[in-house]
Amino acid sequence: MSNTTSFPEQRTPHPDTQDTELLRTPPQNLEAEQAVLGALMSSTGAFERYLAEILETGITADEYYRPAHATIHRAICTVRETGEPVDPITVGAELTRRGELTKAGGASYLHTCVQAVPTVANGPRYAEIVRAKAYRRAAIESAQRILQYAYSEEGDEADVRGLVEQELTAIVAGTPGLATAPPSVGDLYLDYVAELEEVQNGRQTGTTYGLIDLDTITSGMHPGNVTVIAAQSGVGKSTLALNAAVAAAKTGATVMFSSLEMSSTELMHKIVAAECRIGLHHLTRQDGLTPDNWKEIERLGRELFRTLPLRVYRPDGAFLRDIESAARACARDGGLGVLVVDYVQLVETEQARNITREQAVAGVSRGLKNLSVALDCHVIALSQLNDDGLMRESRAIKNDASVVIRVERPDLNEPESPRAGEVDIVIEKNRFGPVATVTAAAQLHYSRFVDMAQL
């Protein structure tokens, strides 16, 4: 018989299993379902980005266990498609228009869902919980159809095999987050040759760090990779990273600089000092600027800041999830080429209270690496060095990085050093070339590093 036989959708369970099945509640989490709906209806104003992030998980109305929740989800999607803000009022109006408000539990239940949300920013995680439960229910239903057909003794072994293949294929294909088959080397070949020609012809393949010698050795910044810049306090790791951010943005790459240490004003001071060659101390004291300085700053606003695709993010907290959400928002709003995080040891994770500091930093490092791949951007992660020159919690940070840079200033502890004004950019790990040391000029009064050849 053919394997395309039409199988019955439902059959009476075998007597030995019927009572057990009736007593067992299918996997579900009604609290998570309420939290998802509540988060979707709370994602307005400053929280609007979370609505898209929740829907990006792939959650659909059919994945809710409670029918009323599926009804609400469909109404939310309709309201969003119309361009209206999604909140209990607009969703209630849509349900009323459909004649489904009572079916959904009434207007008061919409507010109940909103009140059930612990944290709106965790909406994507709640959606993942709902999807995982839905997948388990689908797996159970597939297994029951196989079990019932096998007990029925209908058909022959080819029919049973056909049903098993059909059900397993459907359930595997429906796995949340299941990737498609990866490309073959034949599929990759043409793109590879095109990229190889770019390299051999001397055209830049990666986004610039802003230093020619550093770009030559590393071939610049590449999407899906992480560069770690490590240094002791006061050496200039933030300055180097900000220089790289501005240089990358000048090429047209959208850059997000997430600072947990410096304020937005401090970052702007550094950019202005570097671009206008105005001493930082003149920017931060009364009457420090001359009329010519003001002209330069005004010119900078017209010619650079007005179009520079550089975003400065100062999170309210220090959680990785906040940085991830802001980065995803940037990616949706025109793409994201480079993300800078200053610095890793200040970032916190949800589990920070229950794990060691080393485990917490490892979680942040892995999260940033995953984010670089998910958003196809390059991440620059700054890391603090101990007084003895060792990177704090270094193992995981180094493992996740493609390039590890240690910044050293020979004159830091020796003001009379013959190398005063120089900085060594020590490339300790480089997946794109050799390890080496690049020497640059440290013009920290202008908050910038420049190639020695430019002096």
Check residue 173 and give its pLDDT.
Answer: 64
State CA 149 to chain mean position distance.
45
Mapping DSSP to helix (H, G, I), strand (E, B) and coil, where does residue 48 land? Answer: coil
Cα dihedral value 64, 66, 69, 73, nearest 10: 30
pLDDT of residue 90: 93
Contact yes or no for 366/400 (Cβ under 8 A)? yes
Pairing label, strands 255-259, 422-430: unpaired
Residue whose structure tokens are 């689908």: 138
Q: pTM here?
A: 0.64
- Three-state SS string across 163-219, please? HHHHHHHHHHHCCCCCCCCCCCHHHHHHHHHHHHHHHHCCCCCCECCCCHHHHHHHC
Tell me the fold of 205-454: Rossmann fold (3.40.50)
Q: Where do the domains of the chain lie?
A: 1-176, 205-454
Length of the chain: 455
Phi, psi of 187, deg, nearest 5: -70, -30
| Choices 1.10.530.10, 1.10.3720.10, 1.25.40.10, 1.10.860.10: CATH for 1-176 | 1.10.860.10
Give dist(CA 354, CA 364) in Å, integer.
15
Q: Say what the pLDDT of residue 3 is.
A: 40
Return the pLDDT at 185.
81
Q: Would you give the end-to-end CA distance of the chain in angstroms?
A: 83
Q: Hey, is 3 helix, strand or coil?
A: coil
Instruction: Report which of 137, 135, 123 is spatially closest to residue 32, judged by C-alpha positions.
Output: 123
CB atoms within 10 A of CB 77: 15
Can you list the residues of the chain whose pLDDT is less than 70?
1-23, 45-46, 170, 172-181, 202-204, 317, 350-354, 386-394, 455
Structure tokens at 411: 């004159």
Helix (H/G/I), strand (E/B), else coil: 70 = helix
- Encode pLDDT of 298-349 as tens digits: 998 888 888 999 999 887 767 887 888 888 888 877 889 999 998 888 887 7
What would the pLDDT profile of 129-168 be if each residue is shown by its tens digit? 999 999 889 888 888 888 888 888 787 777 777 777 777 7
For position 174, what pLDDT does the model report? 62
pLDDT of residue 352: 53
Inter-residue long-range contacts of 9-16, CB under 8 Å, 24+ positions, other chains counted: 9/145, 10/148, 11/145, 11/148, 11/149, 11/152, 12/148, 13/144, 13/147, 13/148, 14/147, 14/148, 14/151
C-alpha–C-alpha distance, residues 187 and 168, integer Å: 28
Q: Are 55 and 41 in contact (CB under 8 A)?
A: no
Phi, psi of 342 (to 5 degrees): -120, 100
| Domain 205-454 in the same topology as domain 1-176 | no
Q: Are 396 and 425 in contact (CB under 8 A)?
A: no
125 burial via Cβ count (<10 Å: 0-12, 13-18, 19+): middle
Cis bond before residue 343 (omega within 30° of 0): yes
